[in-house]
Chain A
Amino acid sequence: EVQLLESGGDLVQVGGSLRLSCAASGFTFSDLDMSWARQAPGKGLEWVSTVGRSGVGTNYADSVQGRFTISRDNSKNMVYLQMSGLRAEDTAVYYCATQRWLDVWGKGTTVTVSS
């Protein structure tokens, strides 16, 4: 069974940094692209970023381009989202998901950015 477990969410001040992690299991991790998506309180879903199988190819939403960095460690079955220059509007539940097609989602980790 495919499982994704996010961690690293926290309360952080505007302008601060945070690294989210996602531990994957139940599939051959290096075979799949991996993505992050988010959902602000009471709002809809927003795709954030996707990383290719080897970690070389990455894509970002305009709203996070230049501030967030996605990466992966295929030896550990982990995907990361390094977030810097955090803004109040980055407050959200952040989900890890398999592939660009968002096949399977984790339960999410909460990031709160406060001034």
Chain B
Amino acid sequence: DVVLTQSPLSLPVTLGQPASISCRSSQSLVHSDGHTYFNWFQQRPGQSPRRLIFRVSNRDSGVPDRFSGSGSGTDFTLKISRVEGEDVGIYYCMQGTHWPLTFGQGTKVEIK
């Protein structure tokens, strides 16, 4: 199975400052069709998960442009350009290239 390793697991941030989460895969996430099926999800406290980013760098509808995704192959990054209070929660990376689908452990983002 593909193992996704996120870092850090806890990320205290100052409002208005940038934040970055890394996700490393145990194998390449490039599918045979050429796409890389790598997503980022946000789970606010008490809420269902919400997809933020699909196929590495594409923002879902309604996602603020302060969120951006980048990376390739086995190394991926989620960046928040200026953290706002509503960004508090747990962020998960996920790969949809290989069965079984797998998630990272989650990174808890909190305000300092």
Chain A residues near B (Cβ < 8 Å): 35, 37, 44-47, 50, 59-62, 95, 100-108
Contact = CB atoms under 8 A, between A and B. Distances in A.
Interface stretch (B11-19, B44-52, B75-83): B44-52
A22 B75 CA distance: 34
Interface string B93-112: 01010011111111000000
Contacts, number: 56
Nearest to B90: A44
Q: How large is the interface on B (under 10, 10 to 19, 20 to 34, 35 or more residues)?
A: 20 to 34
A47 B37 contact: no
A100 B102 CA distance: 11
Given A100-B101, A102-B51, A103-B51, A44 B92 contact: yes
A63 B69 CA distance: 30
B30 to A, nearest CB: 16
Contact of A45 (B1, B37, B100, B106): B106
